[in-house]
Amino acid sequence: MATEAEYESILIVKPDVNVYRIPPRASNRGHRAADWKLDAPDWSGRMRITAKGKVAFIKLEDKVSGELFAQAPITEYPGIALETVSDSSRYFVLRIQDDNGRSAFIGVGFGDRGDAFDFNVTLQDHFKWVKTEDEISKNAQTPDTGPKLDLGFKEGQTITLNIGQGKKRDKPRPQSAGGFGLLPPPPGGKIAPPPSSSSNDNTPPSTGGSPTDCLLDLDSSNSNTVAQSNPSSSDLWGDFSTPASALPQSAPASQGSSSTSWVQF
């Protein structure tokens, strides 16, 4: 049954690659590209690397028709299916297989060193991905038998949090209407109490003190009459608000100075 991982995808395509017949390995010293006939390749075409699941396929195809010349399945890299040579970074030994399972070793090489680098990195990246997938599958199938971290509270367990508080800001001093703060009293000083309002209003004021004294001193003979005209009032001004129309009509004009509290000037 086909799965999504079995769809074939293209990893890289290189348009120029040469194929060489190589002699059998004479010793364990490895393959050398100098032993090949590098100036006379046996076949030339393009290389296409594809991936189907975890297996990479190196396919040698005709440049024009795209006909398959040979292919090599790669299950690991580096491995026996693809080897490097000991004397160059542009040539490799590739094991090809046909549909019947027969295999042979051929030499492949790139004329440009950058193409050889891309070829090498493409295969390395693919098998790094394969290794990562294998580790993920292995971890998914293996149950986690290690101890688990229990962060829950036990019964009756409590914790204490000590949250630091910042310094309290000083309260601003009250300001007067002008915008300036009230100054504190001088050290050791005493503030005099305000004058008491319980003093007797009927007490005659001292001479030379207030404007009331000046008005009352204009007629000293009539000062007692002003004080006695309204004994129930404590106003030193007397009946200053009584209009002239309220005076008795029968009183002669000559007696105005003695019968009223008005002061004549």
User: Which domain covers residue 56, as residue numbers?
Assistant: 7-138
For residues 248 and 53, give the distance between their C-alpha atoms in angstroms, rounded to a whole number: 137
- pLDDT at residue 32 is higher than 50: yes
Residue 106 belongs to domain with CATH number: 2.30.29.30
Q: What region does 73 belong to: left with phi over 0, alpha with psi -120 to 50, or beta?
A: beta
Q: What stretch of H or E contains 127?
A: helix 113-141
252 lies in a domain? no
Band (pLDDT 50/70/90 cuts) for residue 157 is confident
| Cβ pair 93, 107 in contact under 8 A | yes
pTM of the prediction?
Answer: 0.52
264 lies in a domain? no
172 lies in a domain? no
Q: What stretch of H or E contains 124?
A: helix 113-141
Band (pLDDT 50/70/90 cuts) for residue 55 is very high
**In the chain, how many domains are there?**
1
At residue 2, the pLDDT reads 44
214 lies in a domain? no
103 lies in a domain? yes
210 lies in a domain? no
| Cβ pair 19, 36 in contact under 8 A | no
Across the range 79-84, mean pLDDT stands at 90
At residue 184, the pLDDT reads 64
At residue 92, the pLDDT reads 95
153 lies in a domain? no
At residue 168, the pLDDT reads 57
Task: State pLDDT tens for residues 3-30.
Answer: 455 788 999 999 999 999 998 877 677 7
134 lies in a domain? yes
DSSP-derived 3-state class of residue 257: helix
- Better pLDDT: 48 or 239: 48
